[in-house]
A and B are shown apart, each in its own frame.
Chain A
Amino acid sequence: EAGVAQSPRYKIIEKRQSVAFWCNPISGHATLYWYQQILGQGPKLLIQFQNNGVVDDSQLPKDRFSAERLKGVDSTLKIQPAKLEDSAVYLCASSTSGGSSPLHFGNGTRLTVT
């Protein structure tokens, strides 16, 4: 079984620029998550999708972050404009049935904002 795929692996941008991350979940996984992991901390949920609908985006800074999951498969997370504090690893995860089954994570995109 192929794992969760994410790209790019690394990204360096200047503040106020925009950036996008892509995620392809495990085939058949209906639930998709984006997490932000700041160095030294545990992952923090940004947004959760069930198929192509948003289940929870309460911790997504909507003035600058947006995410979509067209067709209920792949997903993109965008930041525009980026701030220095957005420097983090952005992790995508998927699962078969929300919070009652393990999440499978990709290796993340490491974003550095200078």
Chain B
Amino acid sequence: GESVGLHLPTLSVQEGDNSIINCAYSNSASDYFIWYKQESGKGPQFIIDIRSNMDKRQGQRVTVLLNKTVKHLSLQIAATQPGDSAVYFCADPSGSARQLTFGSGTQLTVLP
């Protein structure tokens, strides 16, 4: 089964609002997590990653929070823009050879 899974398959937010996309993982030994953004017709694009020795990491308009106690991570997008509309995946190298395993994705729709 999946090592990582997203909570909601779809999320709609108003332009300018903040977005929060959640992800749960099952393997307590997971030590590295990556968020990807996939626009229609394109391959997944790396957004941000976080290692398990951190609780929070910030990028440009994005923040990832990691809660190891409840095995949960979230991606926060500040001031969501129309260009943020895409499917977002969390992933972790949970395979035996540290293969990257993807969740099912959350479709983010930005409303005007």
Contact = CB atoms under 8 A, between A and B. Distances in A.
Given A42-B104, A45-B101, A99 B93 contact: yes
Interface string A44-75: 11001000000110000000000000000000
Nearest to B31: A100
Interface in B31-78: 32, 34, 36, 41-46, 49
A42 B100 contact: no
Contact of A42 (B32, B42, B46, B102): B102
Interface residues of B, number: 24
A8 B94 CA distance: 30
B100 A99 contact: yes
Contacts of A93: 43
Contacts of A91: 43-44
A56 B43 contact: no
B28 interface: no
Q: Which of under 10, 10 to 19, 20 to 34, or 35 or more describes the interface residues of A?
A: 20 to 34
Interface string A15-43: 00000000000000000010000000111
B97 interface: yes
A100 B100 contact: no
Interface in B97-112: 97-105
Interface of A: 4, 33, 41-45, 48, 55-56, 91, 93, 98-100, 102-108
Interface of B: 32, 34, 36, 41-46, 49, 89, 91, 93, 95-105
21 contacts: A4-B43, A33-B99, A42-B89, A42-B102, A48-B99, A56-B96, A91-B43, A91-B44, A98-B93, A98-B97, A99-B93, A99-B95, A99-B98, A99-B100, A100-B93, A100-B98, A102-B34, A105-B36, A105-B43, A107-B41, A108-B42
